Amino acid sequence: MNSISETDLIINPDGSIYHLNLRPEDIANTIITVGDPDRVEVVSKYFDKIDKKVSKREFVTHTGYIGNTRLSVISSGIGTDNVEILMNELDALVNVDLPTRTIKQEHTSLNIVRIGTSGSLQESIPVDSYVVSKRGIGFDALGHFYPTPTSSFSEAIQSQLNLDFLSYTSFGSEKLYDLLFDDKNPLYFEGNTVTCPGFYAPQGRILRYTPKQENLLQKFNQFSFQGSVLTNLEMETAGYYLFGELLGHEVLSMSAIVASRMTHQFSKNPEKHTESLIQQVLEKITGL
Ligand code: R1P
Ligand code: URA
């Protein structure tokens, strides 16, 4: 079998993978990802035991146990460019034999849950609620470089929003959705999540410029296709789902809604709200 070149798959002298600085034994098969590196310890403080702490750039990893369940929590920093590195390197850690740089015969599928923050696009999804993304719609450029399926949803967005580019649409794990969506909690909403390549103009925020896309927020809010609307804006989900589908991992993105973009309300305590989502996920995920 052909081996992957030293510049395509860079391994550090200590045997760890280039950016994450992790060796295969340093990660669990169930991984929680967060954007903010400071949020890693907000998750790992609930672990009964932490046996590994590694950090490099924005990628901070803690691995340990809750009861008998081994878990890792890793921060990605902001944006799908970081998710591209994170997902490729996590996949290589389990599906490539690093010493020989060859793809393993047996495929390992990771369970990956993003716990992030997000802004809601519908008045019916209030601040301090939760969105569990069924779809991720990528407005970023990853879809130009990785195979992404043709999507009538993305085509409808292009035409209704009058965009001169086509987004890509990918889907989260049904297995993790069924496990983690709390249908008894009225604050849980199913999501068609728009992943933006920026926080300001790509999310309809206007500071000291005239944005190229006019009335973007209103257009996001009013979009509808086959009974589905766009629910929320953030900056990673579509990237995660693209690699979940491409590389065969179970991936789910869950967002604490900290801003209601239609009513202009911001959460009074976004940290507490996000930590409450972390607690709910940890209670359910330990059975995996
Ligand atoms: C922007 O403030 C960041 O917050 C959201 C967005 O996706 C982006 O990363 O997620 P996190 O709170 O996980 O970072
Ligand atoms: N994160 C985002 O990307 N957008 C928001 O409005 C809030 C959090």
- Measure the CA–CA gap between 91 and 162, rounded to whole angstroms: 36
Per-position DSSP letters for 2-51, written without gaps between them: PPPPTTTS-B-TTS-BTTT---GGG--SEEEEESSGGGHHHHHTT-SEEE
In single-letter form, the type of residue at position 63 comes to T
- Is the pLDDT confidence value at 287 over 90? no
Give the position, in ligand 1's atom list, of the atom nearest the Cα of 237: 7
CA-based nearest residue to 172, from 235, 116, 249, 231 = 249
Q: Which domains are present in the chain? A: 24-285 (3.40.50.1580)
Ligand located closest to 237 CA: 1
- Is the pLDDT confidence value at 1 over 90? no
CA of 59 to the centre of ligand 1 (A): 14
pLDDT confidence of residue 226: 96
CA-based nearest residue to 216, from 160, 133, 167 = 160
- Is the pLDDT confidence value at 3 over 90? yes
CA of 279 to the centre of ligand 2 (A): 21
- Is the pLDDT confidence value at 45 over 80? yes
Residues with CB under 6 A from ligand 2: 117-119, 199, 203, 233-235, 258-259
From the number of C-beta atoms within 10 Å of its C-beta (0-12, 13-18, 19+), residue 61 rates as: buried
| pLDDT tens-digit readout, 255-285 | 999 999 999 999 999 999 999 999 999 999 9
pLDDT confidence of residue 39: 98
- Mean residue pLDDT across the chain: 97
> Cβ distance 140 to 279 under 8 Å?
no
CA of 13 to the centre of ligand 2 (A): 38
Ligand located closest to 114 CA: 1
Q: Beta-carbon neighbour count of residue 238 at 10 Å?
A: 30
| pLDDT tens-digit readout, 11-22 | 999 999 999 999
CA–centroid distance for 230 within its chain: 17
pLDDT confidence of residue 288: 74
pLDDT confidence of residue 138: 98
DSSP element (H, E) containing 177: helix 174-180
Q: How confident is the model at residue 65 (pLDDT cuts 50, 70, 90)?
A: very high
> Which distant-in-sequence residues (6+ apart) come within 8 Å of 133 by Cβ?
172, 191, 192, 193, 231, 232, 237, 241, 252, 253, 254, 255
CA of 4 to the centre of ligand 1 (A): 33
For ligand 1, atom 4, which residue shows the shortest CA distance? Answer: 117
> Which distant-in-sequence residues (6+ apart) come within 8 Å of 202 by Cβ?
139, 196, 216
CA of 118 to the centre of ligand 2 (A): 4
| pLDDT tens-digit readout, 114-172 | 999 999 999 999 999 999 999 999 999 999 999 999 999 999 999 999 999 999 999 99
Give first-to-last CA distance, the chain, whole Å.
Answer: 33
DSSP element (H, E) containing 69: strand 69-75
Across 45-65, average pLDDT: 98
| pLDDT tens-digit readout, 179-207 | 999 999 999 999 999 999 999 999 999 99
Helix (H/G/I), strand (E/B), else coil: 277: helix
Share of the chain above pLDDT 70, in %: 99
Our answer on whether the CB atom of 199 is closer than 6 Å to any ligand 1 atom is yes
pLDDT confidence of residue 210: 95
> Which distant-in-sequence residues (6+ apart) come within 8 Å of 284 by Cβ?
179, 180
Our answer on whether the CB atom of 34 is closer than 6 Å to any ligand 1 atom is yes
